[in-house]
Structure 1
Amino acid sequence: MPDPSALTVETFTRKHAAAMLDWFASREALIQWGGPDLSYPLDTAQIEAMLAETAGAEPSRWMFAGLVGDRLAGHVQVALDWRNGVGRLARVAINPSMRGQGLAQPFLREVTTRFFANSAFERLELNVYTFNETAIRTYNGLGFREEGVRRSSVKVGDARWDTALYGLLRTEWT
């Protein structure tokens, strides 16, 4: 069992991509992670498209890798709205073989600290499917507040999923 204090965070790059291609065992699992616009199975081309959004002085996305030793333990992205000073925490995943070991909270704490270190941003928000109780506990533990629910917002097969919106302001981050 890895020690959560051994987790390091760095910019996610192409070298990390292959390690997460098998993290999502079904279309539903991929949608839960990345939203309904991704195609199952996750492949390098889709990750390359995400990485393309990280370029430039004001990229539309930041991507982070959480590592324990040299092993990819987690992945997260922050979509960036530079004009309004808002980021959207997205595509949060912990390596399936490392889940339940207390890595999510320190990983997201470091990402949130890095986000608010940039004075251009005042708000960090996220969407989470309401059935994802483990993720919701993690977000609540970091200080995010539920701001509403978009009922029946995503169609996955014959099912409809509700999406909750959570937010955290710079003034609330400690």
Structure 2
Amino acid sequence: MTVSIRPPVAADYAAIAVWIPDAAACARWAGPQLTYPFDPEQLPQLLQVQPGASFALCQGDAGLLGFGQYRLRQPGVAHLCRIIIAPSTRGRGLAKVLCRLLMEEASRTAAAQAATLRVYRDNPAACAVYTELGFVEVEAESTTEVLWMEKQISHAG
């Protein structure tokens, strides 16, 4: 399956809104800045990351497969955030592909040399994805609820 990332469009945000079933899921995905329910038309503004960028994961002209962002925490460090995969396509390795593409984009456009992310400890599928990508826990930044993870970005992603 050949997939790519592109800037999200209005239809992507409408699809994402359907993937978020309740306030708890919204808070875990987007953090406290986004309250549920939300207006999908407002998502581009509500999810804006500066400096950083948002991307839709797509396969050709097919529907949206996923969404993710990175923001620059500091020069050379991209923080991956708001990673979500369409419920109908989960379990196919798309989260790993999306994260690799986000890191490649951050490296290419923002000269990122490292990536960080946060993941809930009770989300073993996501923890496994990030570990497989080479992220390691930063214990000093982690809590009992959330792992802080980081990795160096290689030229190959």
User: Under TM normalisation by the shorter chain, which class is it?
Assistant: 0.7 to 0.9
Further displaced range: 5-14 or 94-103: 5-14
Match for residue 168 of structure 1 among 147, 151, 156 = 151
One-letter amino acid of the structure 2 residue matched with residue 97 of structure 1: S
> How many residue pairs were aligned?
154
Matched, 1:101 2:84: no
CA RMSD of aligned residues (A): 2.2
One-letter amino acid of the structure 2 residue matched with residue 120 of structure 1: A
Long gaps (5+) in structure 2: none
TM-fit CA distance, 1:131: 0.6
Q: What residue in structure 2 maps to residue 38 of structure 1?
A: 34
Identity %: 28
Q: Tell me how far apart the structure 1 counterparts of residues 42 and 3 of structure 2 sit (CA, whole Å).
A: 26
Aligned CA distance change for structure 1 residues 134 and 34 (closer, same or farther; 3 Å): same
Structure with greater helix share of residues: 2
Matched, 1:80 2:72: yes
Q: Tell me how far apart the structure 2 counterparts of residues 37 and 121 of structure 1 sit (CA, whole Å).
A: 25
Q: Deviations over 1:66-110 (max 9, x none)?
A: 1134200100010123x5322110000001121122221122212
Structure with greater strand share of residues: 1
| SS of alignment partner, residue 98 of structure 2 | helix
Matches within 5 A, 1:1-174: 5-50=1-46, 52-53=48-49, 59-68=50-59, 69-81=61-73, 83-118=74-109, 120-148=111-139, 149-151=142-144, 162-170=145-153, 174=157
Long gaps (5+) in structure 1: 54-58, 152-161
One-letter amino acid of the structure 2 residue matched with residue 62 of structure 1: A
| SS of alignment partner, residue 73 of structure 1 | strand
Q: Is the 8 A contact 1:62 1:80 kept in 2?
A: no
TM-score computed with the length of structure 1 as normaliser: 0.78
Aligned CA distance change for structure 1 residues 84 and 33 (closer, same or farther; 3 Å): same
Aligned CA distance change for structure 1 residues 20 and 119 (closer, same or farther; 3 Å): closer
| SS of alignment partner, residue 5 of structure 2 | strand
Q: Which has the larger radius of gyration?
A: 1
Aligned CA distance change for structure 1 residues 114 and 19 (closer, same or farther; 3 Å): same
Further displaced range: 93-102 or 113-122: 113-122
TM-score computed with the length of structure 2 as normaliser: 0.85
